[in-house]
Copies of this chain bind each other. A is one copy, B any other.
Amino acid sequence: MTSSSSASFRLPAPASSSRGAPGKQPELLRADGSPVRVLVVDDETSLADLLSLALRYEGWDIRAEGDGAGALRCARSWRPDAVLLDVMLPDMDGLTVLGRLRRELPDVPVLFLTAKDAVEDRIAGLTAGGDDYVTKPFSLEEVVARLRGLLRRAGAAAARSESRLTVGDLVLDEDSHEVWRDGQEIHLTATEFELLRYLMRNPRRVLSKTQILDRVWSYDFGGQANVVELYISYLRRKIDVGRTPMIHTRRGAGYLIKPGG
């Protein structure tokens, strides 16, 4: 076997200032400092494009393939650090692709994309090796979060401590889905949690309602943009009530979160 080129990841020194990539929190990097490589495999071009765009924005190196053959070719030559794999592909069974992929990249984590109606014929063992999956339709935040989780766990232990986001006295744990403000635990619903995570991953940055909608709600959401206002309101009630507000409105622009004061 070829010596595994699987990179171990490390985190750059934590800092609160923005960095190369879009003002995000600490980025995952390969051991040599180059960006993490993610292979996207989906035959629906629109989806693949959407995903590629979003993941690129995370500062990752993205390559997309539309079928199993291409995916395998790419895996072989490009050696990605993670794979985003639609289990329904045109040319070959998703599981076949997976099998060959694993033969090629034994230690690379895979995030599966599955249709929601395929839940019934679930595939045993899909998550057995620490892999994960999301069901369509998904939100981009969800995909990014899961992917980060996989990369984090697949990488060096050093990167493991980083399952928490912190802004001021507000802390969010991505593993346990717990949130604390000033040490006090706060219960959030799934949507509230994803919204807050998105805000906290972009501290001090104005996010428009459209951006939030595109990012936190699933891509097929057809409702009113006003849900964002509603959920911001919910969040405020839970984390800003009676304290120095951290969520701020920029009229005509959007919302942002920043440490109190």
Contacts and interface: CB of A to CB of B under 8 A. Distances in A.
B20 A8 contact: yes
A123 B54 contact: no
B49 A127 contact: no
Nearest to A108: B19
Interface of A: 1, 3-4, 6-23, 49-50, 52-54, 56-57, 95-96, 98-103, 106-107, 109, 119-130, 133, 140, 153-157, 160, 173, 175-178, 189-190, 204-206, 208, 210-211, 213-215, 219-221, 225, 250-253, 256, 258
B103 A12 contact: yes
Given A15-B107, A57-B130, A49 B10 contact: no
20 contacts: A3-B17, A6-B120, A6-B121, A11-B95, A11-B102, A15-B103, A23-B175, A49-B99, A53-B125, A54-B128, A56-B106, A57-B130, A124-B220, A125-B219, A127-B210, A128-B140, A128-B215, A177-B253, A178-B204, A190-B253
Contact of A4 (B8, B121, B219, B251): B121
Task: Indicate the member of A98, A109, A250, A256 with the most B CB atoms within 10 Å.
Answer: A250
B154 A19 contact: yes
Contacts of A22: 130, 153
B153 A177 contact: no
Nearest to A248: B176
Contact of A102 (B12, B125, B221): B12
Given A9-B123, A214-B127, A20 B153 contact: yes
Contacts of A1: 15-16
Contact of A10 (B9, B57, B96): B96
Contacts of A220: 124
A106 B9 contact: no
